[in-house]
Structure 1
Amino acid sequence: MTSRLKQLSEAGQAVWLDFVDRKFLGQGGLRKLIEEDGLTGVTSNPSIFEKAMGHGDAYDAGFTEFLGKADASVVDTYESQAIADIKAAAADLRPAYDRLRGKDGYVSLEVSPYLANNTDATIEEAQRLWAAVGEPNLMVKVPGTKAGMPAIRRLITDGININVTLLFSLEAYQALAEAYVGGLEARVQRGEPVDRVASVASFFVSRIDAQIDKAIDARVAAYDPESDALKAIRGKVAIANAKLAYDWYRGFIAGNRWQALAAKGAMPQRLLWASTGTKDSAYPDTLYIDTLIGPDTINTMPPKTMDAFRDHGSVHGMLTERLDEARHVLDEAKRLGLDLGGVTTGLVDEGVRLFADAADALLGAVAQKRTAFLGDRQNGMTATLPAGLNEAVEKRLEQARADVWARQLWAGDAKLWTGKDESKWLGWLAAARGQQVDPAALKALGEEAKRYSHAVLLGMGGSSLGPEVLANILGNAPGSPTLHVLDTTDPGQITTVATAIDPADTLFIVSSKSGSTMEPELLRAFFYDLAGKDGACFVAVTDPGSKLEATAKADGFAHVFPGDPAIGGRYSVLSAFGMVPAAAMGIDVHAFYEATAPMVFACGPDAPAAANPGIRLGAIIGEAALAGRDKLTILTSPKLAPFGAWLEQLLAESTGKEGKGIVPVDLEPIGAIEAYGADRLFVHFEMAGDAEDGLDTALTKLAEAGHPVVRITVAKPELIGQEFFRWEIATAVAGAVIGIDPFDQPDVEDAKIATRKLVDAYEASGALEPETAAAEDNDFAIFTADDSGFGSAQPAALLRMHFAGLAPGDYAGFLGYVERDETNAAAIAAMRVAVRDAKAVATVAGFGPRFLHSTGQAYKGGPASGVFLTITRDPDPDLAIPGRTASFGTVQIAQARGDMDVLAARGRRVLRVHLKKAGGRIEALRAAIVAAAQN
């Protein structure tokens, strides 16, 4: 017997399959349908591909082969397999296409549903897919939105076959017919053929009844007086709508305008009935097949519906019958206020959303496959969160998915944050792809640098912290110079570096975005003088047009490497500010970007929120902050310890403002469970083979005690670039969660202004403004802000009173304007542990003025929960600054005093301890704080 499906084709209706699957294609399933049922087409959409790729292992071999050649984005990974399936289906259908001379035999591939409301992007994507598949029997699917119509006209003009999807209303279909005919006419005017340009209009059916019937049922249940009339048209509106669309089509192709094109060989744009599976079990499962059979139409069916029709469908041409009844049904729908127009308009929007949802699910599944294949080529992350926080994170991720945060971020849409000027600060996205640097210039610098034994970077904040991580984690290549990073005005620290190098055998890198930051300028003056004022051994990294650029040119610097004004300092490590020092150390910058690329791809605009490691992390840290867990505690295996200093700045300066934000806690030794309050989020970084004894057990106990714990694994040092980028994305996303602009730093400038005021006064008078200690003994003097409320007392009493004010949720800060060396670091660490263990509060520490360009923003502008102890001393010996009256030691003291004044003005609790003895009585202070914390 002839298949019922084949009988449809004899009645003039083509049968298409709404399904694609690699196993089905590979086993000859499509060829069988072509041979036995007369099938002449295939449609696909994101939902179909999600079911095919996201479940099972049918595509694993394809993913493995594709990613084995080179890493790629999530979309490229998906398309590599989707296009392979489409080409295979096109090959199976090609005999039908040739036999029917292009009138049928097509397979459809959909443009991204994310582009449904963007005409230009739809055109570009359709052209790209057409070229990528390269088969004449491809149809590119374009949604019939308002933005889609001009795109369809352009694509038809270009000779691309188009399947127009998401049509629900006669009005939309009429607009589409105009676009199709207009495109063909444009080709005729250009003298181009129209006989092999095909298009179908996918008219969705069952979704209309699903919406209309829902409204009918609600009114009937409410005893609407029109209940009988409502029930009489239940399940009939969609079919009536389709019949009148087909009736209009028949009249249109009979008209002179179409006949003129037909004479040139143009093929009519056939109506294709889509969404033909019934949604209501009360209806026959072949309802939308049986009732819509007619010449020059197509019915695309999912396999289940196809099986049902093959078994018991009715082959009878009903499409042109009972048109008066169809008009009556639509008239009744209008009279009864069922708002078919509103329903069809809403269904277009809903259809775009549903396809976008399906695309998200598809790309999420592909992202997981990609991550699994890459293994340790992409840094891993797991999170153990308490139930409440986990629920909030998942809810936020769903919002981020629905509101397309990933695409907003990469598109530079400031509405993701505060809607101000955030879009002007996203150059770091391109920088992560290596697009900001000149590879040839960096390679040449690397060769030139081999003439030197040492390189000294002079910078502050983002200009220094990123390069310092690279120097400490990656180190210099054999034959390339050792990098020293100076971001201080501390005379002892400057002297330590100056005595470790031979100026004649050193490359100096002066790094400053603005070119006017005080510390790099003072350091430049010092080392330029030390190097005999020979600019040939200096290079500059600075934004175009800066003061530093002018100075570098005037002093004959060997090179000036331009930054990007669209990149803030703390986001600049993957730009010239990080890569120039990297190249000088002999790091292969190209290989570094390649090693970083997997995370850039993973965090791309095509990776849905839940599968996007940057967005997921940003949701975690942002929601944790909103829940009061705003002390992000950084724990690392030994080799990754340097990373925390860079991360501190990124988090604190980006989020700590408007009384909100995240306070990063770095280098605080691990403690007992009872030492931690409910304000902590723990993030652990571990390099393979570098585990710290007992830390894993401690983290497990913290998680069991209800603390959120995030674990990040890094397979090898070269992958540290992935963490730079993951955390840049995460910080930007956390800013969106918290509700702030993550790219400004409104409170950093205040300390600079206070410092300049004190330094200018010193330059004018030869002395800093006098101050009186509130208390002192043989070891140190203590200074308070005027409104501290402490009054005069013994130093021990003042310290005890100061730390006694710590309450749950507060944190203690130790700000040392002393040399950053092992002795001072160890002493401050001991102070932190004493206070933390005694008060169960988080502790932070920084060396000044370094932290002023880093965590200082959060201390002043973030949560008002900090209790600070500033530590200063008289430098001995001091160090002169060429051309200046003030010495480095004087500038450092001025910075400490200015910083304290600003902290106090912001209502922060702050004391300053001045160590009396040359070299500092740091141990005496440690002992005093340990005693004070315990009382």
Structure 2
Amino acid sequence: MTIPKVTTHNGDWSEVVDKLVAEKIASRIAAKDATIWGPEAEHEASIRLGWVDLHETSRPLLAEIEALQADLRAEGLDRIVLSGMGGSSLAPEVITRTAGVELIVLDSTDPSVVKRALDGDLSKTVIVVSSKSGGTVETDSHRRTFAKAFTDAGIDAASRIVVVTDPGSPFEKLSKDEGYRKTFLADPNIGGRYSALTAFGLVPSGLAGADIAELLDQAAEAAPALQADSADNPALWLGAVLAASAGRDKAIITADGSDIVGFPDWAEQLIAESTGKNGTGVLPVAVEVTAPELSSDAADLTNALLADKATSGVPTALTSGSLGGQMLLWETATAVAGYLLGINPFDQPDVESAKKAARGLLDAQPEPEAAAFTEGAVEVRGSEGLLDGVDSLQGAVDALLGKLEDKGYVAVMAYLDSERDADLVAIRPALATKTGRPTTFGWGPRFLHSTGQYHKGGHPEGVYLQITGAHPVDVEIPDRPFTFGTLISAQAAGDANVLAERGRPVLRLHLTDVASGVQQLLSLFK
């Protein structure tokens, strides 16, 4: 195990760090001082700081998780499916991928993704449903669908469902009433994106076979350095790089040479949802190691990297250490960044806006908006005024990019199947190269719990490309008046509507045939 280390280049943050040390920000965070982020944030902070000592308070969970895993394995149940959104899925994903154990993460409402999870060997399957309240539409829909699938297969559904939720939640009551296999109660004083070392992160990871005790040990080893009011505290330096690089509000994150798998996606959610609000924040951009944003001529970027991929002349922080240590490092640094930005890093006011819009569309189920025009397998729609005088797909893309400001960014939001349509990610670096601006890529609805907060609440300088697709095979949701296809369509439309209502330019491309439409877009952007 190694204590986290941060090495900075191309900038001097010593004055900022000295200020943080003098104000005892690190030790005050460790002491759960809710006044750090100002009076408006004090109430929220007072019920969101339980993450700082999880390396101690989560220890009693280990024996419970180990016992359940042993029972499941004795029954031949070794296929673990996780239904969770945001931090409930991203943390277990990076933990299990880094550990090299299999966990099927279901954080999509795309029918083909859901069907693939259902088509696995149910005789060996247990589903962990993670939700603070149980009311999250994605996880509730997954739970209902798996329960029916188990029953239809002649399997006692209750014996195959494990719940992670907050104490006293409606989901805890439902789990008890339904007689589900096991209910793990998480610390309610922790938000989802800070929950990696709570039951939300540990239960699915441990059941899948990851060494979660070691993960807590790693965090425990790192804690003293991250809680010290010292100029050597790596969290203070990383927080300063993220939030105090003058004129720079984009954090390009990659994992070059690291054995931690998928960490940028987890850090992306942590930073975006914590800082992207009140018209400010830091936009995290998770990229591949060959990304154009990391080229030597990349301009106006703040780079926070996991390995030595420094960009000449651009502020850079290189971080290293164990996974548990890195998680606590970035959580602490993000809280520090919130302090420096003058915002509350523990709320997410704009995540709920897209949820409300989607629910409204599910209730009303209006007819789809007519396409402005169709080219090949692509129907084209745009926010008000975007497509005036435009009659080609290339022209529509040019119109969107024409709205891009000098300090702006491009967001690609794909409400598709991340496995089936994986080739589509190639348009991210293509757009970054074409525009010379940072470009995010998110699979919907997963990104709604991550960069989706920043898109609506952060700096109003993005342009948004939404890609949706037809569903030739849909999946019913038991006891609900909508299918998964209807649900993901409503989530996409709701997201686009909220962005448009806030004056953001949105280009919506709907693939009437997904396979040919993906190839059409790849040809266009390349």
Question: In which range does the TM-score fall when normalised by the shorter chain?
Answer: over 0.9
In structure 1, what residue type is equivalent to 2:211?
D
Q: Do the aligned partners of 1:678 and 1:707 also contact (CA within 8 Å) in 2?
A: yes
Structure 1 match to 2:30: 410
Is 2:316 the counterpart of 1:713? no
Identity %: 37
Q: Which residue of 2 aligns with 1:468?
A: 93
1:841 matched to 2:437: yes
Listed as ranges, the matches of 1:160-179 within 5 Å are: none
2:292 maps to which residue?
A: 671
Matched, 1:726 2:329: yes
Cα distance in 2 between the residues matched to 1:782 and 1:738:
38
Separation (CA, whole Å) in 1 of partners of 2:293 and 2:200: 39
2:103 aligned partner? 483
Q: 2: distance between equivalents of 1:920 and 1:544?
A: 47
Report what 1:592 is aligned to: 215
Match of 2:252 in 1: 633
Residue type at the aligned position of 1:554: D
> 1:442 is matched with which residue?
65
Structure 2 counterpart of 1:556, from 173, 176, 179? 179
Partner of 1:772: 370
Indicate if the aligned counterparts of 1:775 and 1:781 stay in contact, CA closer than 8 A.
yes
Counterparts of 1:52-71 in structure 2 under 5 Å? none
Task: Rate the CA distance shift 1:519–1:676 in 2: closer, same or farther, 3 A.
Answer: farther
Provide closer, same or farther for how the CA distance between residues 598 and 411 of structure 1 changes in structure 2, counting only shifts above 3 A: same
Q: Distance in 2 between matches of 1:408 and 1:596?
A: 18
2:361 match: 758
After TM superposition, give the deviation of residue 853 of structure 1 in Å.
1.2
- 1:461, 1:850 within 8 Å by CA — same for their partners in 2? yes
Cα distance, 1:399 vs structure 2: 1.1
Query: How many angstroms does 1:630 deviate by?
Result: 1.4
Instruction: Give how far 1:838 is off.
Output: 2.0
Q: Tell me if the contact between 1:653 and 1:855 (Cα under 8 Å) persists in the aligned partners.
A: yes
Residue 505 of structure 1 is matched in structure 2 by 124
State yes or no: 1:543 paired with 2:166.
yes
Cα deviation, 1:495-537, whole Å, max 9, x if unaligned, reads 22222x2112111101001221110000000111111152111
Q: Which residue of 1 aligns with 2:83?
A: 458
Partner secondary structure for residue 503 of structure 2: coil
Q: Distance in 1 between matches of 2:294 and 2:96?
A: 34
| TM-fit CA distance, 1:459 | 0.8
CA distance in 1, matches of 2:357, 2:59: 35
Are positions 1:398 and 2:18 aligned together?
A: yes
Match of 2:148 in 1: 529
The worse-fitting range, judged by mean Cα deviation, of 920-929 and 627-636 is 920-929
Match of 1:684 among 282, 305, 317: 305
Query: C-alpha distance in 2, partners of 1:538/1:673?
Result: 44
User: Is 1:786 equivalent to 2:384 in the alignment?
Assistant: yes
CA spacing shift, 1:875–1:437, aligned 2, 3 Å: farther
Q: Deviations over 1:120-155 (max 9, x none)?
A: xxxxxxxxxxxxxxxxxxxxxxxxxxxxxxxxxxxx
1:44-78 residue CA offsets vs partner (Å, 9 max, x unmatched):
xxxxxxxxxxxxxxxxxxxxxxxxxxxxxxxxxxx
C-alpha separation in 1, matches of 2:294 and 2:18: 33
**Does the residue aligned with 1:757 lie in a helix, a strand or coil?**
helix
Counterpart check, 1:582 vs 2:179: no
For the 8 Å contact 1:808–1:840, the answer to whether it is kept is no
What are the Cα deviations for residues 636-694 of structure 1, in whole angstroms up to 9, with x where unaligned? 136434111111110000000001001111124422776854331223324xxxxxxxx
Counterpart contact for 1:456–1:484, Cα < 8 Å: yes
Match in the other structure for 1:104:
none
Match of 1:865 among 447, 452, 461: 461
Q: Which one of 265, 271, 290 corresponds to residue 651 of structure 1? A: 271
**Aligned-partner SS, 1:433:** helix
**Aligned equivalents of 1:621 and 1:759: distance in 2?**
38
Q: Which one of 223, 239, 242 corresponds to residue 618 of structure 1?
A: 239
- What is the aligned counterpart of 1:827 among 424, 430, 440? 424
Residue 432 in 1 paired to residue 51 in 2? no
Are 2:478 and 1:882 equivalent residues in the alignment? yes
Question: Structure 2 residue aligned with 1:891, among 477, 487, 506?
Answer: 487
Distance 1:652 1:412 in 2: 22
Q: In structure 2, how many angstroms separate the alpha carbons of the residues matched to 1:405 and 1:847?
A: 35
How much does 1:621 deviate? 0.9
TM-score, L = length of structure 1: 0.53
- CA deviation digits over 1:71-111, x for unaligned, max 9? xxxxxxxxxxxxxxxxxxxxxxxxxxxxxxxxxxxxxxxxx
- Secondary structure of the structure 1 residue equivalent to 2:433: helix
Superposed displacement of residue 596, structure 1:
2.2
- The residue number in structure 2 matching 1:102 is none
Structure 2 CA distance, aligned partners of 1:554 and 1:791? Answer: 58
Q: Which residue identity lines up with residue 353 of structure 2 in the other structure?
A: D
Distance in 1 of aligned mates of 2:516 and 2:178: 38
Q: Does the Cα contact within 8 Å between 2:55 and 2:217 map onto a contact in 1?
A: no
| Count of aligned positions | 515
Task: Pick which of 797-806 and 519-528 moved more.
Answer: 797-806
Please say if residues 799 and 929 of structure 1, whose CA atoms lie closer than 8 Å, have aligned partners that are also in contact.
no
1:455–1:484 Cα contact (<8 Å) kept: yes
Q: What amino acid is the match of 2:242?
A: I
Cα drift, residue 804 of structure 1: 2.3
Q: Which amino acid aligns with 1:514?
A: S
Question: Are residues 1:900 and 2:523 paired?
Answer: no
Q: Which blocks of at least 5 consecutive residues in structure 2 are unaligned? A: none
User: Is contact 1:488–1:848 with CA below 8 Å preserved after alignment?
Assistant: yes
Q: Kindly state the Cα deviation for residue 870 of structure 1 after the two structures are TM-superposed.
A: 0.2
1:890 deviation in Å? 0.9
For residue 597 of structure 1, what is the amino acid of its counterpart?
A
Amino acid at match of 1:785: S
CA distance in 2, matches of 1:848, 1:603: 34
Displacement after TM superposition at 1:927 (Å): 2.0
1:797 aligned onto 2:395: yes
| Residues 80 and 128 in structure 2, CA contact (< 8 A), matched pair in contact too | yes
TM-align CA RMSD: 1.9
Structure 1: distance between partners of 2:327 and 2:104 = 20
1:916-935 → structure 2 map (5 Å cutoff)? 916-919=512-515, 921-930=517-526
TM-score calculated relative to the size of structure 2: 0.94
* Distance in 1 between residues matched to 2:78 and 2:112, nearest whole Å: 22
Q: Which is higher, the Rg of structure 1 or of structure 2? A: 1
Q: Does structure 2 conserve the Cα–Cα contact (< 8 Å) formed by 1:675 and 1:840?
A: no
Task: Report the Cα distance in structure 2 between the residues aligned to 1:788 and 1:802, rounded to whole angstroms.
Answer: 7
Aligned-residue offset at 1:620: 1.6
Kept after mapping to 2: 8 A contact 1:903/1:910: yes
Work out the CA distance in 2 between the residues paired with 1:473 and 1:731.
22
8 Å CA contact 2:416, 2:467 repeated in 1: yes
Cα deviation, residue 920, structure 1: 5.2
Deviation at 1:437, TM superposition (A): 4.6
Q: 1:788 to 1:801 in 2, by over 3 A?
A: closer
1:789 positional shift: 6.2
> Following the alignment from structure 1 to structure 2, what is the Cα–Cα distance between the partners of residues 919 and 491?
15
